Structure 1
Amino acid sequence: MQIITVESKQQLLDAFHVRENVFIKEQGVSAEIEHDEHDQTAIHLVGYLDKQPIATGRIRIIDQAGKIERVSVMKDYRGNNFGQQLMIAMEQVLLKHELKKAKLNAQTHALRFYHGLGYQTTSAPFYEAGIEHVAMEKKLIK
């Protein structure tokens, strides 16, 4: 998978295509919640396989930490380490911005995935967009 930082309108549309398939169509999140004001200012990454967008995520820098959001891999491509590759690429972006901590809100069904990448749970479960989540953090090391 080739992972790039979004630089064009088409690349952003490709990232949105993945999110719409995963969050809106598959998980039933409303488009009004999925697309928010942070889409305009966030750093977006998109992963391509055979020139097709299959994975995406976005980063916001908040209080000297990188907040990783909207991490998603198209259903047919899960289980092939594409999510792990995407997360490593996102952490590399955070390190380039000299950030030492990554934060995210993980859907609880994905806890094993994030724990395997070194993230620690930092909150009790809560609901976001009608889906159970927990807050997680990881200290980043160059």
Structure 2
Amino acid sequence: MTMALDLLVRLVQTPKELEDAFFVRREVFVKEQGIPLPLEQDEYDEISQHIVAYHEGEPIAAGRVRLLDAHVAKVDRICVLPQFRRQQVGVRMMQKLEQYATRTDNDYDVHVIKIYAQIHAVPFYETQDYRITSPEFIDGGLPYRAMEKRWLFVK
């Protein structure tokens, strides 16, 4: 069993934190996976709530969430630098994104979170109670499956 990293996972609130999130995304999606930058950074960046995780003051993971409607949120661009994978960083990232999306201090009643998971990440999301909702499809040259998690609660 791996010891949990000393990790600070926070909602992005400053331009520096946003640049830190974009740095991690470029490292993982553009440099490691070969996704073209114009596909990786998109129009949804402006309307999403971003998160970033820091270890010893350095950004190591990122993600974002946006509302699709009053009941459905979409989580995407979840990424962790390679040397920090398999150390529960992804779990902490998903907890923070889900906590933000389902918070009760707004006018929304989110009870479904959708995600497009790269095929290699599907087992991870299944451990987080996400279920596959689509056949395999290609996006940006990589294979994905649509997944979602549902909550049954009332505000």
Superposition TM-score, scaled by structure 1 size: 0.97
> Whole-Å Cα distance in 2 between the matches of residues 140 and 116 of structure 1?
15
Matched, 1:116 2:127: yes
Alignment check: 8 A CA contact 1:95 1:140 kept? no
The percentage of counterpart residues that share the same residue type is 36
User: What's the counterpart of residue 3 of structure 1?
Assistant: 9
**AA in 1 matched with 2:146:** A
Mapping of 1:31-110 within 5 angstroms? Answer: 31-63=37-69, 64-96=71-103, 97=106, 98-110=109-121
User: What's the counterpart of residue 129 of structure 1?
Assistant: 140
User: What's the counterpart of residue 18 of structure 1?
Assistant: 24
> Whole-Å Cα distance in 2 between the matches of residues 87 and 128 of structure 1?
22
> Whole-Å Cα distance in 1 between the matches of residues 73 and 55 of structure 2?
26
Q: State the 1:49 CA deviation.
A: 0.6
CA RMSD, Structure 1 to Structure 2 (Å): 1.1
Q: State the 1:141 CA deviation.
A: 5.4
**AA in 1 matched with 2:28:** V
**How many equivalent residue pairs?**
142
Superposition TM-score, scaled by structure 2 size: 0.89
Alignment check: 8 A CA contact 1:101 1:140 kept? yes
Secondary structure (helix, strand or coil) at the match of 1:28 reads: coil
**Deviation digits for residues 19-51 of structure 1, max 9, x if unmatched?**
000000000000010011111111000011111
Structure 2 unaligned residues grouped into runs of 5+ = 1-6
Runs of 4+ in 1 over 2 A off after TM superposition: none
Structure 1 unaligned residues grouped into runs of 5+ = none
Larger radius of gyration: 2
> Whole-Å Cα distance in 1 between the matches of residues 102 and 95 of structure 2?
11
